[in-house]
A and B are shown apart, each in its own frame.
Chain A
Amino acid sequence: MIQFQHVFKSYGQGANILADINFDITPGEFVFVSGPSGAGKSTLLKLIGGLEAPTRGSVIVKGQRMDQIGQRARPYLRRAVGVILQNMHLLYDRSAFENVMLPLAVIGLSSDKAAARARAAIQKVGLSGKERLNPIALSGGEQQRLAIARAIVNKPSILIADEPTANLDQASAQKILEVFRDFNRVGVTTLIASHDLELLRRHANRTLLIEPGRFRDLGKNT
């Protein structure tokens, strides 16, 4: 499903943020990407989401090399990857419901079907009854869940989230992780970047550890 083959990434003339990264993620896996701040976790997720291009090596997502995919085809691959960035990028000039409707407008779904699917996504993340609220009126955890609803509304086969539990209390973080678990149970390949070691211990899974100058695949149940 996701393959990294000798991937290097640097910005400008700077040092490599990622150096010779190799791993393979099979469909339906639940993977944590861990490491200290600034180690390159976000960059790794962005490479998978097609938001960044590798400096060297190949990133293969769903059988397609991201560095070789054309500019026109790239958006269509992005629809298969639900992305939740650290800054959730919610739109504060519209309601929670309209935020979730945006990806459906992108694929041109009819308004009836889109509304039904958006409601279902909102319900899945536990935000029913808050559709009409502006995201600014939601708590941090609820905003995170809204971002998840927007990421999953197009039924992606891969879900990537960058520090989704950062700045959340333990109970809220737990709920968010449960939401990801639910999607993973129905076959969605899930990658979560987090530096929260406590969270990793509680939800032991396959973990990819990125440290400055070093990459380790810790495998499952570490």
Chain B
Amino acid sequence: MKTWIRHHFYAMHIAIRRLLSTPFSSLTNIVVIALVLALPLLASSILASMEPVARTVSVNPAITLFMKGNVPLAEPRDRGERLQQENAAIIDKLEVIDKNEALAGLRASESWSNALKVLPRNPLPNSIIVTIKETENRANKAQELAQEWSNLENVDTVQFDSAWVQKLEAILSFTRGVLLLLAIGVAVVVIGTVFNTVRMQALVQREEIAVARLVGATESFVRRPFLYLGALTGLVAGVLSILLTTFGLGSLNGAIARLSESYGTDFVIRLPDAIWLGTAIVLVMIIAALAAQWSMTRNSRF
């Protein structure tokens, strides 16, 4: 066990020494990987920040049933109870709005009160507002219900604008797709960069590898420093990419804050949580280490 630990310490020591012995080359590789990593990290940050907003919005898709003008309040109340019973699985909340209460509410609003004064009678109908539960494919389900309810007796109009919910979901789905492509691109760049770095290192360290084998080193002993070299490159590049993204988001959020303030919100783009970032760095380290192992196996047959 002690020997095993010593071998790993030795490999780590050699890997750090090799990284430091070619500082410019090592730094260039790390910066290239970090910049490439920063792109999906930025996209993930946007996605992670957008999703709660999207959830808040899409959790309450509402269908409004406007009754015909002469229908008394008892009718929507009765209709509401039946709808609630028939669709208990999908309806989150159902509210019957009395047209007189609705008018009173509008009159209380300063911007509406003057306009309403000129009207001879209440133009508003009694209505039912149905809020749909947050389920998978809720936009389509709500669309179907809106279609079905528009044919009900005494219902004049059904209002449900599902397009924006579908668009938002499509945008998020598209962003996830882009993120996947970016992640694949990053993996390719990491593999390519580390593979080439290790190939060069294997050629430079050719003599050392030959001597190590001569004095009885196992292939694991020979390869291990290169594995660490790959993993360390991935680690440093991962941390650097987080710093770069944090710096980038700092300036981006300034502009976003001004925009969102004008809409009365305080939306900002934040980095994904620490567990997500840690997992991403570990993944990059594993990919880089495997690329190093692959390169070493291919380029040390001498």
Contacts and interface: CB of A to CB of B under 8 A. Distances in A.
Given A72-B218, A108-B2, A108-B6, A102 B211 contact: yes
Contacts of A49: 214
A17 B4 CA distance: 41
Interface in B1-33: 2-4, 6-7, 10, 21
A1 to B, nearest CB: 18
Contacts of B7: 108
Given A108-B2, A108-B4, A103 B215 contact: yes
B210 interface: yes
Interface string A25-68: 00000000000000000000000010100000000000000000
B207 A106 contact: no
A77 B2 CA distance: 21
Contact of A106 (B4, B21, B210, B212): B212
Contact of B214 (A51, A76, A110): A51
Interface residues of B, number: 20
A102 B215 contact: yes
Interface in B191-242: 207-208, 210-219, 221
B215 A110 contact: no
Contact of B217 (A75, A85, A151): A75
A201 interface: no
A78 B216 contact: yes
B6 A110 contact: yes
Residue from B3, B210, B214 having most chain A Cβ neighbours under 10 A = B214
Interface in A60-96: 71-72, 75-79, 83, 85, 89, 91, 93
Given A89-B207, A91-B208, A154 B6 contact: no
B83 to A, nearest CB: 74
Interface of B is mostly: helix
Contacts of A106: 212, 215-217, 221
Contacts of B4: 108
Contact of A78 (B6, B208, B210, B214): B214
A107 interface: yes
Nearest to B6: A108
Contacts of A79: 215-216
A118 B217 CA distance: 17
Contacts of B216: 75-79, 103, 106-107, 154
B207 to A, nearest CB: 6
Contact of B213 (A75, A93, A110): A75
B207 A150 contact: no
B211 A91 contact: yes
Nearest to B211: A89
Contacts of B213: 75, 78
Contacts of B218: 72, 75
A150 B6 contact: no
A110 B6 CA distance: 7
Given A106-B221, A110-B2, A78 B215 contact: yes
B125 to A, nearest CB: 85
16 contacts: A72-B218, A75-B216, A75-B219, A77-B216, A78-B213, A78-B216, A83-B215, A89-B214, A93-B21, A103-B216, A105-B10, A106-B212, A106-B215, A106-B216, A110-B2, A154-B215
Interface of A: 49, 51, 71-72, 75-79, 83, 85, 89, 91, 93, 102-103, 105-110, 150-151, 154
3 tightest Cβ-Cβ pairs between the two chains A and B: A108-B3, A79-B216, A103-B215
Given A75-B217, A102-B212, A106-B217, 10 more contacts: A72-B218, A75-B213, A76-B216, A78-B214, A78-B215, A83-B214, A89-B211, A107-B3, A108-B6, A150-B215
